[in-house]
């Protein structure tokens, strides 16, 4: 198949939630190197809260909306609004569709990038989750331009996310708590870039499962 069905596909979102839950301690450990070490705990709290509000019968777009809203309303710190924006933007683009194609996907990803840039004022290279999301989206777009299948575009996205996350190790933080460390933030992964990589890779593998099964 060349599309993922929107209807009753909340299981993709539930898999994302599960992945954050599984990696909560790891994410806090990464955050602890340059921040206050609460990233995994905070994320887990919000994502688990959303889990209770998501029914399997919901559309994929609807479940993303619930997750986004929960993160904005119920988790503090900077990550709530940031991931809230990302998931809300994805949801809004998917909402109108019965079938999520690669063309819809790339628009949704770009809308998320725009939303995050507006919200946080972050730029590429500031050592944030954008440094995962942007190269992942870029890799997806390039695969699309080469007429690759949706599945291959998602595989490219997953690889782009991994490379992007790894690239934050060499960056100096320009924004957020880690920015206070200046040069000393170099040498460590960014926690947000790492959670974003987990989210994107889980989402892509769940979507690939759908593409393979239909």
Distances (CA, A) of 138 to 69, 145, 194: 27, 10, 18
By CB under 5 A, residue 214 contacts Mg ion: no
In the complex, the smallest distance separating the C-beta of residue 29 from Mg ion, rounded to whole angstroms, is 12
By CB under 5 A, residue 36 contacts Mg ion: yes
Among 9, 12, 35, 201, binds Mg ion (CB under 5 A): 35
In the complex, the smallest distance separating the C-beta of residue 35 from Mg ion, rounded to whole angstroms, is 4
Q: How far apart are CA 124 and CA 135, in angstroms?
A: 9
By CB under 5 A, residue 31 contacts Mg ion: yes
Residues in the chain: 214
Segment near Mg ion (CB under 5 A); pick from 24-32, 120-128, 134-142, 181-189 = 24-32
Q: How far apart are CA 54 and CA 185, in angstroms?
A: 37
- Give Cα 141 to chain centroid, integer Å: 16
Q: How far apart are CA 137 and CA 45, in angstroms?
A: 27
Segment near Mg ion (CB under 5 A); pick from 29-37, 86-94, 131-139, 156-164 = 29-37
**Residue placing its CB nearer to Mg ion in the complex, 102 or 127:** 127
In 3D space, the residue among 62, 193, 205 whose CA is nearest the CA of residue 131 turns out to be 193
Segment near Mg ion (CB under 5 A); pick from 27-35, 68-76, 104-112, 114-122 = 27-35
Q: Tokens representing 161? A: 């996310």
**Residue placing its CB nearer to Mg ion in the complex, 76 or 214:** 76
In the complex, the residues that contact Mg ion under the rule CB under 5 A are: 31, 35-36, 38-39
């Amino acid at each position: 198949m060349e599309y993922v069905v929107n209807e009753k596909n909340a299981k993709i979102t539930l898999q994302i939630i599960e992945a954050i839950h599984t990696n909560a301690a790891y994410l806090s450990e990464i955050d602890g190197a340059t921040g206050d070490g609460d990233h995994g705990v905070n994320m887990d709290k919000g994502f688990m809260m959303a889990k209770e509000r998501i029914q399997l019968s919901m559309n994929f777009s609807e479940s993303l909306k619930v997750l986004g809203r929960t993160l904005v309303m119920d988790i503090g710190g900077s990550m709530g609004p940031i991931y809230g924006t990302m998931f809300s933007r994805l949801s809004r683009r998917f909402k109108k569709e019965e079938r999520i194609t690669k063309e819809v996907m790339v628009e949704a990803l770009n809308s998320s990038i725009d939303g995050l840039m507006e919200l946080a004022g972050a730029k590429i290279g500031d050592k944030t989750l954008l440094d995962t999301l942007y190269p992942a989206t870029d890799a997806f777009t390039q695969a699309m331009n080469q007429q690759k299948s949706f599945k291959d575009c998602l595989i490219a996205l997953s690889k782009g996310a991994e490379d992007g996350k790894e690239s934050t190790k060499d960056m100096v933080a320009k924004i957020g708590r880690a920015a206070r460390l200046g040069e000393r933030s170099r040498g460590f992964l960014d926690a947000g870039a790492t959670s974003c990589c987990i989210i994107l890779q889980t989402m892509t593998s769940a979507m690939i499962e759908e593409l393979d099964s239909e």
